[in-house]
Chains A and B, each alone.
Chain A
Amino acid sequence: MAAYASATAPRVELVSSEGDVHVAAVTIDPRDPVFAGHYPGFPVYPGAYMMAVVDHTVRAATGLDLELAAMRQAKFRSPVYPGDHVTVEVTVRPNDADGEAGWAVSAVVTGPSGVATDMRLTYREGGS
């Protein structure tokens, strides 16, 4: 499997896997270098990094070689801050739309203030 670049490399701890549903615990590392720039004086986790957290969860949960094809919808409901403990629940289902092997993922990220982000993603098989 290719070692690919990612916005960030969060430590994703899988806590449960039942059928299609996988849950991970992630701590938003306050030492992540991104906070110096997002934003100076007010560190808040970028939405793009939250996408990477979901992506890492999907990969850790399924072990699949995947390429992100689309983000059908993402709602950023409340900010996530350095040190926050979040749970990431992903549901991964095969999705053979367009005759191509793929997966439909729905993800809910819950933090100290409730649901922080929910998103629906489409993945296709990885590889060059």
Chain B
Amino acid sequence: MIDTEGIIRRIPHRYPIMVLDRVIEVNPGENLVGLKAITANEPCYQAAPGQPPLDDYRYPPSLLLESWAQAAVVLATWDEPNPDVLAGKVELAALAKEVEFTGRVYPGDVVEHRVSLVRQLGPTSIVEGTSVAGSTEVLRVGQFVLAMREMAEVLAARRQPETV
């Protein structure tokens, strides 16, 4: 079992977007199971200034996917964890395919993310999986591609934008 402190030693995400709480099972190079508990006190539930109070507490699908993706990063970088991008590398999402939001998630739910590593070739990792809340499937990820990029390369690309 890898607790939150163990997770932050493996991935660079921090508050308010560290949305993976625990890893309960890992077979390195194969698959991983992680947990995210949803609470009404999360940053996403803070009403924006001037906006009406929420009356729908569904957990945003984008954050559900982000949470699953962080579990995927833990699996993909298991042999070379990268908790600090300033140390030289950053794992970026390149592609997502056939992502389905099959169930709604609410405060009080504990979401279980299941990630499988399909293939890893150099800096590129292909993963897939599902997430469940209790016995309800809430997310299906057909394919998710992660790319480990050198920070020097990312920064160089930023300094020379393509002319449109």
Contacts and interface: CB of A to CB of B under 8 A. Distances in A.
Interface of A: 2-7, 9, 33-34, 36-42, 44, 46-49, 51-52, 55, 68-76, 78-79, 81, 110, 112-114, 128
B76 to A, nearest CB: 15
Given A5-B58, A76-B94, A36 B14 contact: yes
B interface residue count range (under 10 / 10 to 19 / 20 to 34 / 35 or more): 35 or more
5 contacts: A3-B56, A4-B54, A34-B16, A37-B16, A76-B92
B98 A37 contact: no
A42 B158 contact: no
Interface string B3-25: 00000000011111110000000
Contacts of A110: 164
Interface string B93-107: 111111111000000
Given A9-B51, A39-B13, A42-B85, A73 B56 contact: no
B123 to A, nearest CB: 15
